[in-house]
Copies of this chain bind each other. A is one copy, B any other.
Amino acid sequence: MLFEKIRSEILAHNSYVVGAEGEAVVIDPRRDCQIYAEIAESNDFKITTIFETHKNEDYVIGSRDLARITGAEILHGARENFRFGTSVHEGDTFRLGPLELEVIETPGHTVESISILLRDRSVSADPLMIFTGDALFAGDVGRTDLAGESKRREMSEMLYASLHEKILPLPDGVIVCPAHGAGSVCGGNISDREYTTIGFEKAANPILSMSKEEFVEYKMNEKIYEPPYFEMMRRLNREGPPLLYSLPHLSAYSARELRSLLDGKAQIIDIRSPTSFAGGHIPGTLNIWRDGLPIYMGYYLNYDDPIVLVDDFNLDLDRVVRYCVRLGYDNIAGYLADGFAAWFKQGEEIERTGTWSPSDLAEHLDDPSVYILDVRKIGQREEKGYIQGSHHIYVGHLEEHLSEIPEDKRIVVHCDVGYKGSIAASILQKHGFSNVINLLGGTIGWEAANYPMIKEEEELYAAPAA
């Protein structure tokens, strides 16, 4: 039996290859799908079938590319109007030698969501594994808000039924293989267990012990942001995404070329660390540190204008390209040759961002010239508390709320660590705020340095989608 779990970093997306007797299936392949073909080839397996557990909204599915190179058939749930692939229904079974894969309809996250139950018929009628897609995660369950507020209650009830009538009645020993791990935007509290079981989730996942009413109430009140690129993902994954063929090539741009792009529509992204951005950057550029791209680029970047990267040393850009294409950003175009130093070697102007440590901020807590801006998720603010006097706008919504921020003050932005604070700082500077400071360490550093967090029940800002 071939079993491989393929993790896509940061997106925390899990896909799986399962095979026996020369044939293999892939569940929820990512778009840079060469890895599945390589696993199959190095094991002398042929990929014959691709399952999509649901219409993913956080990344571009790789089914069509993988089908192109392997000839495999694409299967997904029947209750969505897919423009490609074939529908499967409750109880459909597929064989791989002694292995049997059974389709279980588990709606709730989406209406057409399915889970795949795996049995080894040569040894037992008991199932061995279940691939739960976005229905059940380690420590969490799927989002029910993405179909819109009007359908949220209905989706939540469906998910409760799927969990309690389809999944949880399975034997405790069944291994649960979800489509996402910790850190995913598809769940607010997914645990970092790499593997789990029905039995362990029943013991350790608090959401599963709620009554139906508690569950629906909990899901109705859950606040998770929805990045704007989800809309594009849903459309692509329903209609069939464009074929990728191979990873885009990054062109090296000289500093001169980059400067000429500054007035155009190019999307110049500084992928350096918050300190590197603070020490000097190209005026007007957006800072999203490299591993923040899969989570945050979908808030700020469009799918048309070329994306150009600015790094310190241009290391491991191949990974950044993968991040982009997984989210459909095939407009990733190039990078600044020789890094940011190429910019200042030309004698160009640079912009700086202030950096403060917790103790620096502590000295200014009562300074009226200082405006403290918390850009964390509203849920974090509510759960963990906040720094005295701080205001809240979620980093993903900052550009729509700039008018709420005073122009004549020193703006101290902070998140929980300092990375998202730097995104926010770069947005503020881009929009003309001249005195912007990023709190290095964020609220975690603040608490580590023994400064107090205020935990009231107040809510300063309500995320529209929360």
Contacts and interface: CB of A to CB of B under 8 A. Distances in A.
A346 B199 contact: no
Interface string A1-30: 111000000000000000000100000000
A249 interface: yes
A120 interface: yes
Given A341-B417, A445-B347, A199 B199 contact: yes
Contacts of A120: 191, 193, 204
Contact of A3 (B194, B250, B279, B338): B194
Interface string A144-183: 0000000000000000000000000001111100000000
Contacts of A407: none
A341 B41 contact: no
A442 B122 CA distance: 24
**Residue among A46, A197, A279 having the largest count of chain B Cβ atoms under 10 Å:** A279
Nearest to A204: B124
A339 B418 CA distance: 13
Interface size classification for chain A:
35 or more
Contacts of A193: 1, 3, 120, 128
B291 A313 contact: yes
Contacts of A405: none
A126 B344 CA distance: 35
A340 B279 CA distance: 14
A340 B275 contact: yes
Interface stretch (A76-84, A217-225, A352-360, A365-373): A352-360
Interface stretch (A50-58, A314-322, A384-392, A393-401): A314-322
A353 B314 contact: no
A57 B41 CA distance: 32
B441 A344 contact: yes
B279 A341 contact: no
Nearest to A182: B1
Contact of A350 (B3, B203, B290, B355): B355
Contacts of A274: 279, 341
B317 A315 contact: no
Interface string A245-283: 110111111100000000000000000111111111100
A70 to B, nearest CB: 6
A408 interface: no
A139 interface: yes
A161 B357 CA distance: 58
A412 interface: no
A450 B347 CA distance: 8
Contacts of A352: 355
Given A273-B312, A337-B44, A345 B441 contact: yes
A456 interface: no
**Residue among A194, A245, A248 having the largest count of chain B Cβ atoms under 10 Å:** A194
Contacts of A22: 252, 254, 337-338
Contact of A173 (B139, B203, B251, B346): B203
Contact of A197 (B175, B312, B347, B418): B175
A196 interface: yes
A137 interface: no
Nearest to A192: B1
Contacts of A446: 347
Nearest to A441: B344
B123 A204 contact: yes
